[in-house]
Chains A and B, each alone.
Chain A
């Protein structure tokens, strides 16, 4: 099956800092989503982005499908950005998830 690798596994930020999370995948995909899992376990949809660039407030994402990677940018980080960020790609009509990047934003 398709392999999804996320880096870095852990990220500690000072409030106000910017960061980039990366997702590499091993095959071409039609569907890629970024999620944020909050401390209570809820997975929140951030972006549906099989290709191109999208922005939503302080978050933006870029997927370069031909090179099999996606990037999630967090700008001016806030403590509420803490949690685990997952990348998931479509493989055989189902989503395959990466192991996630755990982000801790310190005040």
Chain B
């Protein structure tokens, strides 16, 4: 499999549930990202990992907990979510953190609905 993959593609969860989103990249990249895309809003960067180390937390509530066990895998652990957290969650990767000459690639996203 090539590129950036995400599972599950769709997720419905209650506010008291705990679930995890998974992202895997097969591009040999060292930087990985989580974005949130809500309806009618621009993409919002949530977290950045570079060489497995978190380099950016964009004021994300603690009910979202990222984990990067290695440069190929990125998880987003979810607990006690709110209905307003319903959105499309996109994972991306790039060779290094974004800079001159670095292109970012996205996975297909997980569409999350919190009931």
Residues of A in contact with B (beta carbons under 8 Å apart): 30-31, 33, 35, 40-45, 48, 50, 86, 88, 90, 93-95, 97-100
Residue ID in chain A nearest B109 by CB atoms: A41
Q: How far apart sit A62 and B98, CA to CA, in the bound complex (Å)?
A: 20
Contacts of A30 in B (CB 8 A): 99-100
Q: How far apart sit A91 and B2, CA to CA, in the bound complex (Å)?
A: 28
- A41, A94, A98: the one contacting B42 at CB < 8 Å is A98
From A40, A44, A93, residue with most partner B Cβ within 10 Å: A93
Near A by CB (< 8 A), chain B positions 76-103 give 88, 90, 92, 97-103
Number of A-B contacts (CB under 8 A): 57
Contacts of B104 in A (CB 8 A): 33, 88, 95
Contacts of B48 in A (CB 8 A): 93-94
Near A by CB (< 8 A), chain B positions 53-67 give 55-56
Q: How far apart sit A97 and B100, CA to CA, in the bound complex (Å)?
A: 17
Q: How far apart sit A35 and B109, CA to CA, in the bound complex (Å)?
A: 14
Contacts of B102 in A (CB 8 A): 31
Q: How far apart sit A93 and B101, CA to CA, in the bound complex (Å)?
A: 12
- B33, B42, B56, B101: the one contacting A99 at CB < 8 Å is B42
* Known A86-B43, A97-B42; 6 more pairs at CB < 8 Å: A31-B102, A43-B109, A44-B106, A93-B55, A94-B33, A94-B56
The 6 A-B pairs with the shortest beta carbon distances in the complex, nearest first, are A43-B106, A30-B100, A41-B109, A97-B43, A93-B97, A48-B103
Residue ID in chain B nearest A38 by CB atoms: B108
Given A41-B111, A43-B90, A100-B42, A90:B106 Cβ within 8 A: no
Contacts of B55 in A (CB 8 A): 93
Q: How far apart sit A31 and B42, CA to CA, in the bound complex (Å)?
A: 18
